[in-house]
Amino acid sequence: MTSFKPKETAYDHIRAVEWENGRLKLIDQRILPGKFEHLYLDHLPESAKAITDMVVRGAPAIGVTAAYAVVLAARDRYKESPGGWQKTIQADLNLLAEARPTAVNLRWAVEYMRGIINSGISGDPVPRLLAEAQRIHVEDIAANRHMGELGAALIEPGSGVLTHCNTGALATGGYGTALGVVRSGYAAKRIKEVYADETRPWLQGARLTAWELVQEGIPVTLLADSAATYLMKQGKVKWVIVGADRIAANGDTANKIGTYMTAVAARYHKVKFMVVAPTSTVDLSTPDGNGIPIETRAESEVLNYGGTRTSPEGAKAWNPAFDITPAELIDAIVTEKGVVTNPTRDKMLAMMQK
């Protein structure tokens, strides 16, 4: 199959990652919503760089992208050395796994593809690996749709919800995790109002979530991140719904910086807090949030906006890309294997073993 774009349905018309004419095709998320352009990639190193540079972002989308990048590497390495490619590709896989540190889906996808490679493939590896990448892609979307149903079922009809960052089609193979719940919940009239934090410094909420929802015809109201607490005070929000970059064995959740702010505020206001992520985001080898590495990104992301210096020379900045929300602040973790309420280590393990 030279091209692959998973099929679209109601409220679901955006694909951040595609395979087209033997190339990896990515929406360049750095320039949305001003410009809608694709990048076409033919090799693994440039694909790893696209992940580091946030052309594509969102833990599940990074995982899907990585799977396709492995196909690109296999094609190159097999061409160089039909007998030795399984050895020479190992350094590519290691490079790819390091493209970003926090999201576990990246490592999950790389190690999954490495397992296929190491188990032995005879002849041209591209058809087999491409089939695996497409399976990961399709299964991610299917998981998201299922999570959308499960998460929406928790929400009282006619509710307002708040989301943080972008967890939609742009952040996944398609449909989205937390924004998948928003899609399903809006379709089922359980969700009436969607509020989106703009999500500084990278403005995923303003640039990406708002763009996605406008594309799909779902009304969205943006707010400055710091207004989220006051919004909850107004009683306008019944649930905060977020994604995850890594969930530790006890349910502690790493997600975009600011998620913890919304969780603390939600608890204070008796608003419910839902994390939506596929089980590929759950890392049973990390016992709790203390073990999750938090990526610190460049100070310039906070000190500037859109190429304009917004702060004076001489100011420093602290720019953690993620924070940890402890399990005790989470009311429900929704995965494709089911819903875990008030997560604990035992409940998480039971869910994962389903």
Out of 91, 214, 298, 350, which residue is the one contacting a copy of itself (CB under 8 A)?
214
For residues 217 and 287, which CB has a smaller minimum distance to a copy of itself in the complex?
217
- Rounded Cα gap, residues 71 and 159, in angstroms: 43
CB 160 within 8 A of CB 238: yes
Residue 266 CB contacts under 8 Å (≥ 6 apart), including other chains: 232, 240, 272, 273, 329
The residues with which 276 forms a beta bridge, in sequence order, are 334
| 315 near a copy of itself (CB under 8 A) | yes
For residues 7 and 313, which CB has a smaller minimum distance to a copy of itself in the complex?
313
By CB under 8 A, how many residues form the interface with a copy of itself? Answer: 57
Smallest separation (angstroms) from a copy of itself to the CB of 276: 19
CB 244 within 8 A of CB 224: no
Out of 227, 298, 349, 350, which residue is the one contacting a copy of itself (CB under 8 A)?
227
Neighbours of 3 (CB within 10 A): 11
- Rounded Cα gap, residues 339 and 284, in angstroms: 17
| 200 near a copy of itself (CB under 8 A) | yes
Out of 81, 94, 300, 310, which residue is the one contacting a copy of itself (CB under 8 A)?
310
**DSSP class of residue 232?**
H
Residue 319, SS3 per DSSP: coil
Per CB under 8 A, which region of 47-55, 244-252, 258-266, 271-279 contacts a copy of itself?
258-266
Q: Using CA of residue 303, residue 297, residue 53, residue 213, what is the dihedral sign?
A: negative
Out of 87, 135, 189, 309, which residue is the one contacting a copy of itself (CB under 8 A)?
309
For residues 148 and 258, which CB has a smaller minimum distance to a copy of itself in the complex?
258
**DSSP class of residue 8?**
P
Per CB under 8 A, which region of 7-15, 202-210, 241-249, 274-282 contacts a copy of itself?
202-210
Site for a copy of itself in 131-190 (CB under 8 A): 164
| 192 near a copy of itself (CB under 8 A) | no
Window 2-41: contact mask with a copy of itself (x via CB under 8 A): -------------------------------xx-------
| 349 near a copy of itself (CB under 8 A) | no
**DSSP class of residue 186?**
H
| 298 near a copy of itself (CB under 8 A) | no
Closest to 19 measured CA to CA, from 6, 32, 28: 6
Out of 145, 146, 207, 238, which residue is the one contacting a copy of itself (CB under 8 A)?
207
**DSSP class of residue 11?**
T
- Rounded Cα gap, residues 224 and 236, in angstroms: 15
Strands 246-248 and 282-283: what pairing? Answer: parallel
Q: Which of 245, 252, 283, 323 is labelled catalytic?
A: 245
For residues 126 and 223, which CB has a smaller minimum distance to a copy of itself in the complex?
223
For residues 136 and 179, which CB has a smaller minimum distance to a copy of itself in the complex?
179
- Rounded Cα gap, residues 326 and 341, in angstroms: 14
| 258 near a copy of itself (CB under 8 A) | yes
Torsions phi, psi of 297, nearest 5? -100, 175
Residue 102 CB contacts under 8 Å (≥ 6 apart), including other chains: 245, 246, 254, 292, 293, 294, 295, 321, 322
Window 109-138: contact mask with a copy of itself (x via CB under 8 A): ------------------------------
Question: Is 245 tagged catalytic?
Answer: yes
| 296 near a copy of itself (CB under 8 A) | no
For residues 175 and 195, which CB has a smaller minimum distance to a copy of itself in the complex?
195
- Neighbour-count burial for 253-291, b at 16+ CB within 10 Å, e otherwise: bbbbbbbbbbbebbbebebbbbbbbbbbbbbeebeebee
CB 181 within 8 A of CB 152: yes
Q: Which residue ranges make up the site for a copy of itself (CB under 8 A)? A: 33-34, 164, 195, 197-201, 203, 206-207, 210-211, 213-214, 219-231, 233, 257-258, 260-261, 264-265, 267-268, 302-303, 305-306, 308-320, 323-324
Which amino acids are annotated catalytic? 245
